[in-house]
Amino acid sequence: MDVIKIRKDFPVLGKKIDGRNIVYLDNACATLKPRRVIEAMNDYYENYPACGGRSVHRLSTRVSIACEEARNKVQRFINAPSEKEIVFTKNTTEGLNLVARGFGLKKGDAVITTDKEHNSNLVPWHMLREKCGVAHIIAKSLPDGTFDIEDFKKRMKDGRSKIKLASIYHTSNLDGYTLPAKDIIEIAHDAGAHVLLDAAQSVPHIPVDVKRLDADFIAFSGQKMCGPSGIGILYGKEELLETLEPFTVGGDSVASTTYEKSVLLGPPHRFEGGLQNYAGIIGLGAAVDYLSALGMDSIEKHEKTLNARLARTLSEIRHVSLIGPPDPALRGGITSFNIEGVAPHDIAMILDESANIMVRSGTLCAHSWFKARKINSCVRASFYFYNLEKDADALAGCIEKIVTDFCR
């Protein structure tokens, strides 16, 4: 990959703060946007800022066509069998909530997650337990953060006929570890459960093929894959979307209504009530084109190279502890760490203010994991394809300096 050339596509990478370029390593939270995405959205606002799916005039028709083209692009990107299986949502969280609310789980049923879930794949199950009495089972990770497949198998066996849904992260936002999703899905299916993958951190970074995985649902977000914020995707197998109950209904989600009754449209439109985020959908389509042209295999390889380089340097710095598997090949493009005796938010601020290095710090929307392990929080650096080796080196150099200055 020609990273120097690629970087020219990202306007913000050409800008300076305090006279220096930025080193953006907060990609697991939100990625930067290439010019092509920004232009696609501007084109919508400048040239056809109408609504889609309703009016028959030319501007509106153009919106409808552009949105359905974006849907087809997403379909091809994840190898979904039908465009009807691609539902536009606000973000991953909304996709997960849509399944949690609409899947028809009731008292006596159970859902299984892991002990490493983002709050978006935890809070909906807490609510379902409190409101409807749906049990929540938690599969354990191994001490290094990898998936304990034996524990999962046992829990699926013990909970057979009770566990209706396994809702699990695909790639962890905490440490970058990617689960053996295909095996997990097979185990869940054999036990009679469906599977929902929180794919917010996988779809932007590795090739994801829903047909090969045989995933029932996957949810992900535009903003983590070079697209705009405020747009997400829920993929669901067509026959499951047919029975999933929508929670936002209204304009454009119905075929017809009387005063007494509504006839819903089929998927995906029945889930897309109200005017949509047209600029976001169109921008997402442009982001998918951009990533497809680069190739997901190349993106994955590049991130792993940078993470391995960072790991080599960090392993030589005392007082630094890593979160997740020690082998960087198992952590995609993510390195989460702590420096003994230095608060993560302080580290993040020092990195930002002294070197324009932007990382995330805190509990990464996974308080439950940190609390269970009595770790306050951490710093997370996350790479993307536009990062350079010198970005990894700059981070390592600053960490070394912080250790020298603050650790005795």
Output 25 or 63, the one with its CB closest to ligand ALA.
25
Near ligand ALA by CB under 6 A: residue from 199, 364, 381, 402: 364
Backbone angles phi, psi at 338, to 5 degrees: -130, 155
Contact 333, 384 (CB under 8 A): yes
> Binding segment for ligand ALA among 282-290, 311-319, 335-343, 358-366 (CB under 6 A)?
358-366
Residue 360 binds ligand ALA (CB under 6 A): yes
Smallest gap from Cβ 360 to ligand ALA, in A, equals: 5
- The amino acid that residue 78 corresponds to is I
- 67, 132, 226, 365: the catalytic one is 365
Tokens read off for 169: 């992260």
Output 73 or 331, the one with its CB closest to ligand ALA.
331
Tokens read off for 227: 């697209």
> Binding segment for ligand ALA among 14-22, 48-56, 289-297, 360-368 (CB under 6 A)?
360-368
Residue 196 binds ligand ALA (CB under 6 A): no
Residue list 155-174, contact with ligand ALA (CB under 6 A): 173
Near ligand ALA by CB under 6 A: residue from 22, 23, 25, 28: 28
> Binding segment for ligand ALA among 16-24, 134-142, 323-331, 359-367 (CB under 6 A)?
359-367
Residue 231 binds ligand ALA (CB under 6 A): no
Contact 319, 407 (CB under 8 A): yes
Q: How far apart are CA 104 and CA 11, in angstroms?
A: 45
Q: What residues contact residue 199 under an 8 Å CB cut-off, 6+ apart? A: 92, 170, 171, 208, 218, 219, 220
Output 253 or 335, the one with its CB closest to ligand ALA.
335
365 in catalytic set: yes
Near ligand ALA by CB under 6 A: residue from 6, 13, 29, 50: 29
Question: How far is C-alpha 361 from the geometric centre of its chain's CA atoms?
Answer: 18
Residue 365 binds ligand ALA (CB under 6 A): yes
Residue list 291-330, contact with ligand ALA (CB under 6 A): none
Contact pattern for ligand ALA over residues 72 through 111, marking x by CB under 6 A = ----------------------------------------
Question: Cα–Cα distances in Å, from 374 out to 114, 340, 363, 365, 377?
Answer: 18, 14, 12, 15, 9
Residue 118 binds ligand ALA (CB under 6 A): yes
Residue 134 binds ligand ALA (CB under 6 A): no
Output 128 or 365, the one with its CB closest to ligand ALA.
365
Q: CA 200, 349, 391 angle in degrees (round to 5)?
A: 65
Residue 17: how many other CB atoms lie within 10 Å: 11
Residue 249 binds ligand ALA (CB under 6 A): no
Q: Which of 362, 328, 368, 312 is nearest to 178 (CA)?
A: 328
Residues that bind ligand ALA (CB under 6 A): 28-29, 118, 173, 360, 364-365
Residues assigned a catalytic role? 365
